Structure 1
Amino acid sequence: MTSAGEPIKVLLADDQALVRSGFKLLLDGESDITVVGEAATGAEAVERARALRPDVVLMDIRMPELDGIKATGEIVRTRGLEQVRVLILTTYDTDAYVFEALQVGASGFLLKDAGPAELLHAIRVIAAGEALLAPRITRRLIAQFTAERTATQIAEDRLAVLTQRERQVLALVGQGLSNDEIGTQLFLSPATARTHVSHAMAKLGARDRAQLVVVAYQTGLVSRGQ
């Protein structure tokens, strides 16, 4: 999360120079966002992230040398980069790699055809420590790649560390609800809902909210069509 009053530092990772230029022009026009570096390959993205310590990395999936998934994994595993958030950019809403990217530690994903306002919102949400999963594809995509769920007993064992309330909160996180919406649904204050989310993340070893969504689907708390 960024410090109050400081601009959000963004690293652009995309193998197309024109795409990076377009993003840079848009982002540098915002008073609360600044582009601190660019990378044309996955390997460069890892190197620049370690050197520049950005708040958010806009990461393309398909890049030379090291793809966006592997680059994301390396970044989130690097000591000292725990606060760096990776926002995956993908061209196709059927991209099978997105789910894998969430598993290795990405904080969310966005389609490349998203409008400027949507991209700016995504960066601010990610920088604030929340997860962002493009609503057009979240549920279908994750359900598709968790069709073969963990066996019932394994799922129960994994969820055993949670209280009943935390299970309820996890299920609602999996459905894409915000803390405010969870609070309304369960008659809790947003702050209490946030506390339950934080406890669930700690108990399940989830890096952020995006990984809670994955767990909710894997364990069957959220099902297709829900």
Structure 2
Amino acid sequence: MNVLAIIPARYASSRFPGKPLAPILGKPMFWHVATRAAASPAVGRVVLATDDARIEAAARDLGVAVVRTRPDHPSGSDRVLEAARILKATPDTVVLNVQGDEPLLHPEMLDALVAPFARPEVGITTLARPISAHEATRPDTVKVVRATDGRALYFSRAPIPYGRDAQPQYLGHIGLYGFRLPLLEKFAKLGQSPLERMECLEQLRLLEAGIPIHVAITPHMSFGVDRPEDIDTVTRILNEQAS
């Protein structure tokens, strides 16, 4: 299987400008993401996709493959698609959208993201993990409900499913995606859907268009860096893992 992991890394951020370059244990954050992604046996190639000359130069200095993309993309998925086209990805390529602010990414998460593509009917994958009922009440934690074959039935910021007579097992969505290239191209052509606008969740665009998403389960947690103070948390966790 031809698997290409692309890490979108833009410089501008309202809460954390220059986030991909934030130093963590002496290396920029994007280096940690790229290094962990490359450790997945399922991934054939890892490439950083950025709109910024500073990030591009830092990547080249550290030996991280990088392509320069336009600055005006509305989402990371659009940046990933441009990078895939620059890299001349073929229609049979599985393209992974690996968030550039996940320095604690576990390589096994990408293995789980790729595994369902062994079934030819699977065109898009993402991940989820079991979460507590308390965590499910947080709007920033996106929940997902699956069919018995692993297809996503719905994603929501609300606690789903509703437990009328029993306590449900909640699944928290992890924002990593795998696409067969033709479906990534189709996703980019779709306009925003009503449910997407309502919940501010772009994956609902696919479900409303009748395009299935396969949700694989992982035991690993995800920790995205949103603010400068998150760097201290990531640094502490990495030091604990190394000890």
TM range (shorter): 0.3 to 0.5
Higher relative contact order (CA 8 A, sep 6+): 2
More strand by share: 2
More helix by share: 1
> What TM-score, normalized to structure 2?
0.31
